[in-house]
Amino acid sequence: MKALNFNKTLPISFFLVIIAIIIYTFITQPKKPTQIDISLLKGNIDNGKKVFLASGCNSCHMSDGSNNKYLLSGGQKFVTNFGTFVAPNISTSREHGIGSWNFSDFYNSIKFGQSPSGKHYFPAYPYNSYQHMHDEDIYDLWTFWKTLPSDETPSQIHDLFFPFNFRRNIGIWKTFFMKDNYFDQKLDRSTYLVEALGHCAECHTPRNYVGSLKKSEWMRGGINPSAKGKIPSIHPSDLKWTKDEIVEYLSSGFTPNYDMVGGKMASVVENISQLSDLDRGLIADYLLRLQ
């Protein structure tokens, strides 16, 4: 009788395994690359530089100690509960950077977190925020990017724990957590600057055990992945700064108490200080209207 029950159970188990494999394959399968019609996109280098600054590409991808914020040789390390991520070389080098990419490769990287070979990027790369970027801004950024210098430093390999080191599994993460909706439903330029380009929540919002942002604690501070301590809350109930004080900080790096910005935020402020007064005011408006 036991043998008979085993013989009945085996085909069912096998069927369930096959179904699980099919579901896993479907969920984790990368998207088909999107081909973008660029015939109507002109490529504005000046705007591309502004997008570059607002997006903070150099804050992670320039090497530690470098004085050239446009030399994106990579190498910075970010320690997380999943292991250590290392920012890659994304300079115009054809061998070690992204110099061999075309615009569609660049676009799919930003919008879908996907490599030209169809592999998932780990969400340490903030494509969950960048997915909101406008096509025109991405093309302008690409136009500016092609003017940047090349660097022949090889990218380093991430040091991640099992099973987080399998890129295919990121498809599961994307299915559940990569949503195309904004947190702030006003959908104005303030929202765009903070949530899409600036991706401020990626650092200033805590994450759950699978690395997704806790929207119930939006902008309430998070773990510092590049040093000890915590990234501070910039929610208005904690920050308690006026609009003028926020704008001044984003312009000069000085807090209302005359402390000076430090750490990774120094690079962020350096970039944002080169945007317009209007944009810095809009960033402040966003923060102050959070509930």
The radius of gyration computed from the CA coordinates of the chain, to the nearest angstrom, equals: 21
Residues 56 and 268 sit within 8 Å (Cβ to Cβ): yes
> Please, where are the H alpha helices in the chain?
2-28, 45-55, 57-61, 103-112, 127-130, 135-145, 170-177, 189-191, 201-204, 236-239, 243-252, 264-272, 277-288
Condensed to tens digits (0 to 9), the pLDDT of residues 51-67 reads 999 999 999 999 887 88
Segment 68-90 mean pLDDT: 92
Query: Coil, helix or strand for 141?
Result: helix
Where do we find the tokens 């494509």? 127
Condensed to tens digits (0 to 9), the pLDDT of residues 214-240 reads 999 999 998 887 667 789 999 999 999
Residues forming a β-bridge with 223: 230
Q: What is the pTM of this model?
A: 0.89
Residues 128 and 109 sit within 8 Å (Cβ to Cβ): no
Query: Coil, helix or strand for 224?
Result: coil
Condensed to tens digits (0 to 9), the pLDDT of residues 108-166 reads 999 999 999 999 999 999 999 999 999 999 999 999 999 999 999 999 999 999 888 88
Whether the pLDDT of residue 12 is over 90: the answer is: no
What mean pLDDT, rounded, does the chain reach?
Answer: 90
Q: How far apart are CA 18 and CA 40, in angstroms?
A: 46
Residues 290 and 282 sit within 8 Å (Cβ to Cβ): no
Condensed to tens digits (0 to 9), the pLDDT of residues 255-274 reads 999 899 988 899 999 999 99
